Structure formats: structure tokens, C-alpha cells
Amino acid sequence: MHGHDLSPSTIAVGAGRPDRVPGGPLNAPITLASALVPGGASEYGRQGNPTWDSFETVLGALEGGRALAFASGIAATTALFDLVPAKAAVVAPRHAYYGTIAQLQERARRGQIELRLVDIDNTQQVIDASESAALVWIESPTNPSLEIADIEAITRASARSGTAVAVDNTFATPLRQRPLDLGADFVVHSASKLLSGHSDVILGAVVTNSDRAHDAIQKRRTMLGAIPGAMETWLAARGIRTLHVRLDRAESNARELHKRLSASRHITRCRYPGFGTIIAFEVVAGADVAQKMTEQSDIITYATSLGGVESTWERRRRHPGEPSSVPESLIRLSVGIEDVEDLWIDIRNVLATFN
């Protein structure tokens, strides 16, 4: 119909809408149903819901695969980890989202898997560890250290050893990184972050381009009951409609703030991978000052989570589960779409007050 490949912005706006029928809505309605009339794709609300389809279609189209929505990012992760055979080895980054690592560590403690933690930006170390492993779990950029994995080199090596590769693409979004194109078998999202984008949804997804893997994950979702609510998928599909605009704006803010933070004598090791909306930096004066700074800002909200239109920040080590290799004074800043000068004045003021 179009005669050319549509750009991601056009897909974000247009994919997953209902057929155009006179008098019909432009957006998928919110279908609240436990039971559906037999003969269709689903007849019970745990198996499927028409509102999920809209979110799954647009996310799948952006990632270049087929998506399945889950109750949360962690529910999506759990479904995938459940497919790892008993006693098999899983390779994962030392600094991945700590809920992910905590789950892997518990599975290892119970003797269900063998866990091999690696520095994900050390490609050779990852490849060596993935020998004879069932799954390599990649997060790139990592949370909160913002390390970058060479996804393509890792998937190439894993293809030779028959190891599955999954990429948590929460920080990059399909607009900055398409892991399936780079050879990954699975993409996992916390749609609670940039995809929904307004800090009002908990939702996750798995995307794959293998029909067999898709069916296995879908079966897992139904069996575990790790299903999303209709409202959450509706909100996330609505969020994706503006993802490209929000991301462009937040990213340009992040680039500018990274430049200015890097020049501040109160800040050290300011990390920004060159794309995305997350900056991490350490406060020279230490953890107490870093904690006070985050609690006293005016425009930037002191809060966990990330990827919303509003800027938020926190000292990550305030969470007891964060690994001790994350520095005590490290602040993770999620840059929103406010005016960058207002954000900088806010940061400059707290830097001046506490340093």
C-alpha cells in the first residue's frame, strides 16, 4: 500500500489501530471482559483481550517481531526465565536492573540454574561465559551504570553455541536499538518506563520473531496468570503514540545536561551513553550530600523509576538491593521534557546549596 518502509515515527503513531469503519473509534476501546464469545482468538480474559492487541501490535511493529504484554517488566522477565532448562547456566550483567538480578540469584540459590555474572561491556568475558549456557541476558545500557554491550558480537558467538540471547531494551527503546535485528532471540521491556512515558502504568512485554518462542511465552503467560490489565495496555499504546517526540526532546535535554554536569567541579564520572534519557553521576562531596541534593530539588522530583515526561532523580544506593559496586554517591537522573534551562537552574541551585 505504501510502497516503502514506514519510518518508526509513523509506525508509532499508526500501528495497532482498529480497522477504519464508519462511526468506529480511531483508538482501540478499553475492553473489560473476563468471558468472551467463543469462536474468536480468546474466550477467557486470562488468554487474551482485544485491548492488549493494540499495544502488542504497535510494540511488535517497532521492534520487528511479535510482542506479548505482561503484568509488569518483571512478569515478562519471569516468563522468559521459566523457559530456561533445569540446572542450565544463565549469563547476566553484574549491574542489570536489580530486580532481575535478585530473581536470578534466588533461582541459583535454589539450585534451579547456574548464574554467571559478567561485565557486560567486556565482550570477550561475556562470550567466554556464554559457552555451554542456555541464556545470555543483556541489558544495554545497564541500570544504573550505563554500560554498553556489543549485542551483535554476543549474538554472533551465541548462535555458534546455540545459546539464546535476550535483551532488556527498556533504556534504549526500539527507536534507538532493535536487538532482534542484531540477532537477539528475545527483547524484554518494562513498559512502565519510556514506552508508557507518564509514570502512571506498570506493564511489561516480551518480543520475539520466532513463532515457536512466541507460542511458548504466550502459554507461560496464561499458565502463570501474569497478564496485564486492559487499562494499562491502553495507556501504554497511547504513550507509544508520542514516544518519538518525547524521546527526541528528553534526549536533547540529556545531552545538554550531561555537558554541563561534566564541567561541574562538584560532580565526577558523569556517564551518558550518547543516546537515551538517563544520566548517572557521582557527587564529589559524598553520599550524604548526594542524598540531600535529590531531596531538595524544586523542579526535578525525588523519585525512583524513570522514563516519564517529568524529570526524576535518586541516589541509587538508598535501595538496599543495589549492588555494592554501584558507588554510594551515584545519582541516577531521568531527564524529562521540561525546558532545559529550568532544569539546569534547579540542578545548579542544589549544587550551590550543598557543595
Ligand X SMILES: *Cc1c(COP(=O)(O)O)cnc(C)c1O
Give the residues lining the site for ligand X (CB under 6 A): 72-74, 97, 99-100, 139, 143, 168, 170-171, 190, 192-193, 202, 204
On the question of a cis peptide bond just before residue 141, with omega within 30 degrees of 0, the verdict is yes
Minimum distance, C-beta of residue 300 to ligand X, in the bound complex (Å): 18
The answer to whether the CB of 72 falls within 8 A of the CB of 190 is yes
Closest approach of ligand X to the CB of residue 353, in Å: 29
Give least dist CB 160 to ligand X, A: 28
- Torsion-angle region of residue 177: left (phi > 0), alpha (psi -120 to 50) or beta? beta
> Minimum distance from CB of 347 to ligand X (Å)?
22
Q: How far is the CB of 183 from ligand X (least distance, A)?
A: 20
Q: How far is the CB of 191 from ligand X (least distance, A)?
A: 7
Closer to ligand X by CB, 55 or 171: give it: 171
Tell me the CB-side half-sphere exposure of residue 36, using CA atoms within 13 A: 16
Kindly list the distances between the CA atom of residue 41 and the CA atoms of 216, 218, 324, in Å, as whole numbers in the listed order. 16, 13, 47
Comparing CB distances to ligand X, the nearer of 73 and 273 is: 73
Spatial CA neighbour of 126 closest among 135, 245, 354: 135
Q: Do residues 248 and 260 make contact, with C-beta atoms less than 8 angstroms apart?
A: no
* Identity of the residue, 134 or 188, whose beta carbon is nearer to ligand X in the bound complex: 188
Helix (H) or strand (E) segment spanning residue 184:
none
Cross-strand pairs, 333? 279, 313
Query: For residues 100 and 312, which CB has a smaller minimum distance to ligand X in the complex?
Result: 100
CA-CA distances (angstroms) from residue 11 to 27, 198, 243?
A: 14, 20, 11
Of all residues in the shown chain, the one whose CB is closest to ligand X is: 73
Q: Closer CB to ligand X, residue 202 or residue 270?
A: 202
For the four alpha carbons of 260, 261, 262 and 264, in that order, the dihedral sign comes to positive
Indicate the residue among 205 and 270 with the shorter CB distance to ligand X.
205
CB of 42 to ligand X, least distance (A): 23
Nearer to ligand X, 76 or 283 (CB): 76
Nearest alpha-carbon partner for 195 in 207, 183, 209, 182: 207
- Nearer of residues 155 and 170 to ligand X, judged by Cβ: 170
Instruction: Please state the closest distance from residue 307 (CB atom) to ligand X, in A.
Output: 8
Contacts of 58 (CB under 8 A, 6+ apart): 11, 12, 15, 16, 237, 240
Distance CA 179, CA 208 (A): 10
Residues in the chain: 355
